[in-house]
């Protein structure tokens, strides 16, 4: 390849050579054999054109990411107008000293600049600069230095070029700036790596007049409103989806209208489709900036499976891949280009984009723009400037996390109007949220994994040590787990992340270091082995589950030890930050301790009010059933999980013991007394003579710990710092005076809420399809979920599609995927049906499927419609596979929401004699409908609870 030598800097006995290729890439040329060549690299001169044959340097010495090794070289000719060449191939940045490696450099007190390590290596180590002020020579004893004046004393740059130093470098001179060696302050061995910024040469030629950038506003953007009617068809045929999700249609229409927009939607809600779909219809290219390399890769792979040409540019590409990608972009065949911000901001990339027709510019993870966000990235600030260079393009900023302040910030820096802000609810309906006390963490972990056999999950721990020990323990038990934390070798980390993405059923045990950019759609559970730091982190972490819309379990283990640790760290903090941290802990505890729907405190943290009383997908909602339980009934039907029972007796026993010992002992000592321990401490204090000694043998030690945890969380007891001794609260006193306590049977709740399968399907066929997917994915080197999501396989195993026509109705099967994979999957399904003699199911009966899949209101609606249309309770129950009481429950909900209910349909289900019916109605009048038990007793237990449920509804309908 041909290169132009643009710099030569001093390096011990030789020179370090900077070159520029004819496609605008900066290289640092290294000799093949440094030792034998004393004067190495001295033969190059700045301004010469050379033909070189290079190989990539396997061992890049930071920060020199441009290193290549010269295998062979040949001098061609001098280049006359080197400044013009640079101007064209690697446009210099004009401005003050702050534009040098903008955002990455920081001034030190001595005036030297350094670059802090943010994400490992910088993406480049050279740039060109035209300073807006003159630099004056300011040597120290050893080095030639130049000083750029600033308000706070100036910044000094060491000069390392071969030119004869001048006393002043005029403003506007073309300068080359590069990064020098990597170092770490000796007094801060844990501090970040940094390196010097140095001047590596100047070009005292004529300064070309600056091209005037055209203000973006003045350019009439071409709109494509005529494309809007086509979007439904594209959704269907290309992506294989039936309907748009919330806000997608509006956002897409806005893109075609060329209105810059901001979309704030939770992870997994389908933000990507908002730009992927328009990209297929727009002439020209859509550019997506994303900081997450693995996410880019996944999306590009997935887009290709849909038949949409997409590429990415980031630091993971080899040089030849990079060149190949550039060629494809230039040829105009690419619809979507993904790029890391650093890559995009490289002058040569900007130049390339200006030549292409960029119609849409997408900023993913847009919260990185804001300094108020938790992920601020300085490069993101520069993206605003980049937009001015692409005046034709419409901008879409998307993010899953943005507080009010961050949203304002994004809108302001991207000039997005309020009208073009789209905020969807943060509720992720398919995540089943639960919190349980940590009793035996390992056992609880195993329970959760066992409930998700063969499925992928993430277990979050608070420390690296914990990650190591837990993953070892689980590995010994034969579980497919892998550890992941920032203390591991980066190679091992990469390997583990790769396996998680490419293999089925891997469980990652990790610190919070894991998860950014995990696009895997079928993560089926998230376990918080330790408490998360705050709700925002928590929400981000659980957000990685269930991106495919199928339900996923999010279980948090609650322990006082963890809270004590968090408190301890807060106490160590700078007092200024402490109140913020305390507030965050408080909101976290409000979430863990709530007795209402967990979505209320969670969503309220994000400024949303959750209106419903029953989300049907959190432990509190799924297990609330006290109304039935008070009547002595167990919950029946498909929606019951854990039973709440009367815990008044153990609560009193525990409280009495606390009182008898003077409210100065901790949880375990009380338990030891209750269980009749003969320990030194118990006997020594004479606690074996207490009335509560040895009265609690009914429960094991572990169960008592669980019970005590519940009593504390229900507010019967309070822990007193610093030793965690227990004291009765006024609620506790009330219990001693007769107040009842409800709670969960210890031992039962350690079983997590297993995800419900959202659609009934043939699991044998599913397994066959899944292994076919694994095989195809292996052959093609794709993550399996890029071929088909679990949801797609589930539908195939439920509806047995046997023709291409059938196939197109399956979730996520678009035209291209049908062509690619139909010939593989259809024969397997056909053979399976033949062997098992399964009759063809024609059109999937969507109404039933949807009723079974949908939670909450949709399901109630379906059941109510069927009932009003004349179907009996029994018939609906057997069709859906639910208990009759569940159907009645939904009808009750429908009634409460104001819908009429067919009385004759209810009476048809009654088995009572007319006389009994009268008696029941009278009893309800007398005792009310809140609890069934008094009515049950008043009727001498002649009417079953099933019957009472029916009659209670009849009573309400006729009297309200
Ligand atoms: P986000 O970027 O918001 O985290 P994604 O864009 O990755 O979420 O979308 C999550 C999943 O939902 C993807 O698998 C995507 O293909 C799918 N999806 C998006 N829109 C729809 C839709 N309208 N119907 C069905 N599935 C969709
Ligand atoms: Zn709930």
* DSSP β-ladder status, 48-56 and 67-78: antiparallel
Supply the DSSP symbol for 63: T
Distance 880 CA to ligand 1 centre (A): 28
Q: Which atom of ligand 1 is nearest to the CA of 243?
A: 23
Distance 547 CA to ligand 1 centre (A): 7
Q: What is the pLDDT of residue 492?
A: 93
What are the residue ranges of helices labelled H in 503-574?
A: 535-542, 560-572
Q: Whose CA is nearest to atom 5 of ligand 1?
A: 270
* DSSP β-ladder status, 194-203 and 113-116: antiparallel
* CA nearest neighbour of 789 among 810, 816, 761: 810
CA dihedral 568, 570, 571, 576 (to 10 degrees): 180
Closest ligand to Cα 753: 2
Q: What is the pLDDT of residue 537?
A: 85
Judge residue 957's burial from the number of C-beta atoms within 10 Å of its C-beta, 0-12 exposed, 13-18 middle, 19 or more buried: middle
Structure tokens at 353: 């984009």
Contact present, 455 and 464 (Cβ < 8 Å): no
pLDDT, tens only, 668-712: 899 999 999 988 999 999 999 999 999 988 888 878 887 888 888
Distance 622 CA to ligand 2 centre (A): 7
Closest ligand to Cα 432: 2
Q: Name which of 298-302, 403-407, 444-448 the model is least confident about.
A: 403-407
Q: What is the pLDDT of residue 216?
A: 46
More confident residue, 102 or 151: 151
For the cut 70, the answer to whether the pLDDT of residue 852 exceeds it is no
Q: Which atom of ligand 1 is nearest to the CA of 245?
A: 23
Distance 616 CA to ligand 2 centre (A): 6
The residue whose CB lies within 8 Å of the most ligand 1 atoms, and thus the one to mutate among 237, 252, 272, is: 272
Give the span between the Cα atoms of 313 and 342, in whole angstroms: 10
Distance 553 CA to ligand 2 centre (A): 13
Q: What is the pLDDT of residue 116?
A: 66
Distance 291 CA to ligand 1 centre (A): 19
Cis previous bond, 408, omega within 30: no
- Pocket of ligand 1 contains residue 732 by CB under 6 Å: no
Task: Provide the percentage of residues in the chain whose pLDDT is more than 70.
Answer: 89
For the chain, how are helix, strand and coil distributed in percent, rounded to 5?
A: 40, 20, 40
Task: Provide the percentage of residues in the chain whose pLDDT is more than 90.
Answer: 31
Distance 583 CA to ligand 2 centre (A): 23
Q: Whose CA is nearest to atom 2 of ligand 1?
A: 271
- Average the pLDDT over 84-105 and give the result: 81
Give the span between the Cα atoms of 636 and 884, in whole angstroms: 9
- Pocket of ligand 1 contains residue 515 by CB under 6 Å: no
Q: Which atom of ligand 1 is nearest to the CA of 248?
A: 23
- Pocket of ligand 1 contains residue 271 by CB under 6 Å: yes
pLDDT, tens only, 764-812: 899 999 999 999 999 998 989 999 998 899 889 888 888 998 898 888 9
Give the span between the Cα atoms of 533 and 540, in whole angstroms: 12
Distance 524 CA to ligand 2 centre (A): 19
For the cut 50, the answer to whether the pLDDT of residue 181 exceeds it is yes
- Pocket of ligand 1 contains residue 270 by CB under 6 Å: yes
- Average the pLDDT over 186-190 and give the result: 75
Phi and psi at 661, nearest 5°, equal -95, 10
Q: What is the pLDDT of residue 942?
A: 79
- Pocket of ligand 1 contains residue 244 by CB under 6 Å: yes
- Pocket of ligand 1 contains residue 272 by CB under 6 Å: yes
Q: What is the pLDDT of residue 693?
A: 93
- Pocket of ligand 1 contains residue 562 by CB under 6 Å: no
Supply the DSSP symbol for 348: H
Contacts of 929 (CB under 8 A, 6+ apart): 952, 955, 956
Q: Whose CA is nearest to atom 21 of ligand 1?
A: 270
Distances from the Cα of 410 to the Cαs of 268, 367, 538, in angstroms? 21, 7, 23
Distance 523 CA to ligand 1 centre (A): 14
- Pocket of ligand 1 contains residue 824 by CB under 6 Å: no
Q: Name which of 17-26, 152-161, 448-457, 529-538 the model is least confident about.
A: 152-161
- Pocket of ligand 1 contains residue 306 by CB under 6 Å: no
- Pocket of ligand 1 contains residue 275 by CB under 6 Å: no
For the cut 50, the answer to whether the pLDDT of residue 640 exceeds it is no
Ion ligand 2: residue ranges with CB closer than 5 A: 597, 615, 618, 621
Give the span between the Cα atoms of 429 and 266, in whole angstroms: 11
pLDDT, tens only, 806-844: 898 888 999 999 999 999 999 999 999 888 887 766 544
- Pocket of ligand 1 contains residue 548 by CB under 6 Å: yes
Phi and psi at 591, nearest 5°, equal -75, -45
The residue whose CB lies within 8 Å of the most ligand 1 atoms, and thus the one to mutate among 267, 270, 288, 501, is: 270
Q: What is the pLDDT of residue 858?
A: 65
Q: Name which of 102-106, 744-748, 930-934 the model is least confident about.
A: 744-748
pLDDT, tens only, 882-930: 777 778 888 888 887 788 898 888 988 888 888 888 889 988 888 777 6
- Pocket of ligand 1 contains residue 241 by CB under 6 Å: yes
Closest ligand to Cα 791: 1
The residue whose CB lies within 8 Å of the most ligand 1 atoms, and thus the one to mutate among 243, 273, 790, is: 273
- Reduced to 3 states (helix: H, G, I; strand: E, B; else coil), residue 744 is strand
pLDDT, tens only, 459-498: 999 999 999 999 999 999 999 999 999 899 989 998 999 9
For the cut 80, the answer to whether the pLDDT of residue 664 exceeds it is yes
First to last CA, the chain: 87
Give the span between the Cα atoms of 933 and 854, in whole angstroms: 32
Q: Name the band, by pLDDT with cuts 50, 70 and 90, for residue 111.
A: low
Closest ligand to Cα 792: 1
Closest ligand to Cα 611: 2
Q: What is the pLDDT of residue 220?
A: 66
Closest ligand to Cα 596: 2
* CA nearest neighbour of 583 among 513, 541, 536, 531: 536
Distance 532 CA to ligand 2 centre (A): 20
Q: What is the pLDDT of residue 824?
A: 96
Give the span between the Cα atoms of 512 and 460, in whole angstroms: 7
Task: Return the beta strands (E) in 167-230 as ranges.
Answer: 168-169, 174-183, 194-203
Q: What is the pLDDT of residue 748?
A: 41
Q: Name the band, by pLDDT with cuts 50, 70 and 90, for residue 633.
A: very low
pLDDT, tens only, 202-255: 886 443 344 444 444 455 678 898 999 999 999 999 999 988 988 999 999 999
Closest ligand to Cα 547: 1
- Give exposure, 179-214, as e/b (b: 16+ Cβ within 10 Å): bbebeeeeeeeeeebbbbbbbbbbbeeebeeeeeee
């Amino acid at each position: 390849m041909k290169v132009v030598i643009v710099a030569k800097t001093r390096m011990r006995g030789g020179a370090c050579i900077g070159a520029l290729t004819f496609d605008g890439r900066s290289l640092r040329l290294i000799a093949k054999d440094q030792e034998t060549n004393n004067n190495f690299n001295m033969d190059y001169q700045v301004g010469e054109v050379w033909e070189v044959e290079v190989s990539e340097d396997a061992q890049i010495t930071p920060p020199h990411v441009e290193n290549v090794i010269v295998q062979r070289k040949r001098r061609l000719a001098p280049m006359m107008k080197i400044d013009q060449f640079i101007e064209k191939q690697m446009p210099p940045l004009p401005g003050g000293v702050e534009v040098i490696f903008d955002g990455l450099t920081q001034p030190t007190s001595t005036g030297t600049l350094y670059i802090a390590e943010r994400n490992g290596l910088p993406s480049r180590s050279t740039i060109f600069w035209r300073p807006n002020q003159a630099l004056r020579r300011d040597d120290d004893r050893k080095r030639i230095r130049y000083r750029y004046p600033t308000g706070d004393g100036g910044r000094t740059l060491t000069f390392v070029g071969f030119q004869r130093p001048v006393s002043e470098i005029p403003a506007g001179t073309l300068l080359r700036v590069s990064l020098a060696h990597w170092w770490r302050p000796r007094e801060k061995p844990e501090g970040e790596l940094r390196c010097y910024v140095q001047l590596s040469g100047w070009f005292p030629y004529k300064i070309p007049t600056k091209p005037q950038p055209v203000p973006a506003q003045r350019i009439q953007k071409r709109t494509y409103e005529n494309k809007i009617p086509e979007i439904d068809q594209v959704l269907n045929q290309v992506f294989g989806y039936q309907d748009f999700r919330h806000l997608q249609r509006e956002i897409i229409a806005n893109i075609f209208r060329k209105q810059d927009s901001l979309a704030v939607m939770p992870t997994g809600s389908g933000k990507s489709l908002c730009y992927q779909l328009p990209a297929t219809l727009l002439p020209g290219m859509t550019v997506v900036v994303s900081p997450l390399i693995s996410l880019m890769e996944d999306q590009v792979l997935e887009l290709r499976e849909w038949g949409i040409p997409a590429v990415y540019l980031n630091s993971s590409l080899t040089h030849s891949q990079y060149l190949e990608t550039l060629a494809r972009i230039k040829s105009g065949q690419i619809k979507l280009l993904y790029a890391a911000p650093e890559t995009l901001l490289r002058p040569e990339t900007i130049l390339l984009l200006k030549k292409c027709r960029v119609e849409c510019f997408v900023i993913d993870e847009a919260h990185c723009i804001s300094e108020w966000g938790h992920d601020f990235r300085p490069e993101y600030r520069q993206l605003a400037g980049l937009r001015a260079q692409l005046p034709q393009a419409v901008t879409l900023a998307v993010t899953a996390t943005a507080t009010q302040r961050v949203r304002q910030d994004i809108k302001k820096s991207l000039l997005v109007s309020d009208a073009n802000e789209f905020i969807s609810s943060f509720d992720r309906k398919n995540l089943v949220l639960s919190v349980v006390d940590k009793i035996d963490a390992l056992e609880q972990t195993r329970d959760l994994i066992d409930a998700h056999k063969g499925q992928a999950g993430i277990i979050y721990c608070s420390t690296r040590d914990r990650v190591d020990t837990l993953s070892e323990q689980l590995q010994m038990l034969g579980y497919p787990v892998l550890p992941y934390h920032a203390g591991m070798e980066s190679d091992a980390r990469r390997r583990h992340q790769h396996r998680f993405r490419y293999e089925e059923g891997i469980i990652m045990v990790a610190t919070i270091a894991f998860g950014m950019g995990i696009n895997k759609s079928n993560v089926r559970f998230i376990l918080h082995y330790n408490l998360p730091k705050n709700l925002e982190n928590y929400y981000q972490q659980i957000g990685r589950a269930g991106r495919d819309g199928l339900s996923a379990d999010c279980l948090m283990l609650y322990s006082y030890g963890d809270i004590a640790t968090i408190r301890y760290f807060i106490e160590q903090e700078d007092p200024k930050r402490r109140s913020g941290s305390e507030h965050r802990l408080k909101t976290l505890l409000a979430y863990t301790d709530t007795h209402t729907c967990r979505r209320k405190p969670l969503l309220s943290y994000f400024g949303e009010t959750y209106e419903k009383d029953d989300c049907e997908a959190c432990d509190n909602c799924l297990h609330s059933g006290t109304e039935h339980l008070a009547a002595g009934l167990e919950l029946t039907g498909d929606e019951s999980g854990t039973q709440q029972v009367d815990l008044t007796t153990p609560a009193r026993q525990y409280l009495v013991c606390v009182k008898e010992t003077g409210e100065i002992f901790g949880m375990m000592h009380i338990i030891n007394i209750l269980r009749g321990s003969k320990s030194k401490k118990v006997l020594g204090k004479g606690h074996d003579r207490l009335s509560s000694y040895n009265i609690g043998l009914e429960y094991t030690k572990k169960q008592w710990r669980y019970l005590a945890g519940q009593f504390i969380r229900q507010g019967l007891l309070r822990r007193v710092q610093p030793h965690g001794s227990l004291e009765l609260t006024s609620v506790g006193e009330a219990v001693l005076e007769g107040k009842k306590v409800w709670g969960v049977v210890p031992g039962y709740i350690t079983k997590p809420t297993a995800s419900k399968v959202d659609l009934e399907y043939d699991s044998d066929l599913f397994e066959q399809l899944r292994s076919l997917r694994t095989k195809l994915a292996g052959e093609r080197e794709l993550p399996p979920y890029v071929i088909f999501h679990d949801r797609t396989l589930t539908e195939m195993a439920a509806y047995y599609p046997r023709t291409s026509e059938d196939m197109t109705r399956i979730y996520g099967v678009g035209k291209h995927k049908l062509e690619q994979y139909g010939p593989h999957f259809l024969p397997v399904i056909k053979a399976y049906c033949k062997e098992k003699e399964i009759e063809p199911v024609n059109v999937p009966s969507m109404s039933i499927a949807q009723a079974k899949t949908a939670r909450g209101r949709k399901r109630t609606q379906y059941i109510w419609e069927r009932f009003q249309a004349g179907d009996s309770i029994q018939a609906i129950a057997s069709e859906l596979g639910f208990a009759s009481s569940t159907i009645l429950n939904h009808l009750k909900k429908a009634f409460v929401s104001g819908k009429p209910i067919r009385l004759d349909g209810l009476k048809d289900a009654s088995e009572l004699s007319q006389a009994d019916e009268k008696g029941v109605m009278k009893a309800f009048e007398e005792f009310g409908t809140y609890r069934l038990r008094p009515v049950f007793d008043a009727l001498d237990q002649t009417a079953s609870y099933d019957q009472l449920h029916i009659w209670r509804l009849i009573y309400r309908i006729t009297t309200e």
